[in-house]
Amino acid sequence: MTRPVTTSSTAPPENRDFRFGIIDFTTGNRNTPTWVNSVVEHSLTHSTKEGFHGALVAWAEPDFLAEIAGSEHEMLVIPGEHDPALGEATVRQTWEPHFPNCRIEVMPNAGHYPMFETPVQLATVIERFLSA
């Protein structure tokens, strides 16, 4: 089965192939099309066109570094082992320099969506962090 690929950042948010391409890429192109389509369906069902577009804009455009500089808050960042877009290297470059109390824990066998890919392990890591 071939995987649809859409690389245009101007594709309409309701475009199923666009969402499939994003989800497939950010999970490392390693999951079955059936699984990717289930996440696409969840996304289409549980988000609005405006919300999806707004999330993409919020991810790509804002620069709020001045607002967060020097934050001492403890935080847990959980990049997926197979996330080529926002994986461990990117998190270490973008979070660690600005958050001295940032703990990074890479989620094995997950890409960008550990809540779908490894839900039990994700919950365990979060609960462990919150109880510490």
How far apart CA 93 and CA 26 sit, in angstroms, is 18
pLDDT of residue 106: 98
Same domain, 56 and 70: no
How far apart CA 80 and CA 31 sit, in angstroms, is 14
pLDDT of residue 2: 40
Same domain, 73 and 103: yes
Cβ neighbourhood burial of 73 (10 Å; 0-12, 13-18, 19+): exposed
Q: Which of 6, 33, 60 is the last residue of a domain?
A: 60
pLDDT of residue 7: 41
Q: What is the DSSP letter of 80?
A: B
Q: Which of 28, 44, 60 is the last residue of a domain?
A: 60
Domains identified in the chain, total number: 2
pLDDT of residue 13: 67
pLDDT of residue 11: 65
**Domain for residue 9, yes or no?**
no
Same domain, 77 and 122: yes
pLDDT of residue 5: 41
DSSP E strands: which ranges in the chain? 75-77, 102-104
For 50, other C-beta atoms within 10 Å of its C-beta total 9
CB 27 within 8 A of CB 83: yes
Question: Per-block average pLDDT, block size 10, for the chain (132 residues)?
Answer: 44 82 95 97 91 82 78 93 96 90 96 97 98 94
Q: What is the DSSP letter of 29?
A: S
Same domain, 52 and 24: yes
Residue 21 belongs to what domain range?
Answer: 16-60
CB 102 within 8 A of CB 78: no
Q: Cα Rg for the chain, rounded, in angstroms? A: 16
**Domain for residue 89, yes or no?**
yes
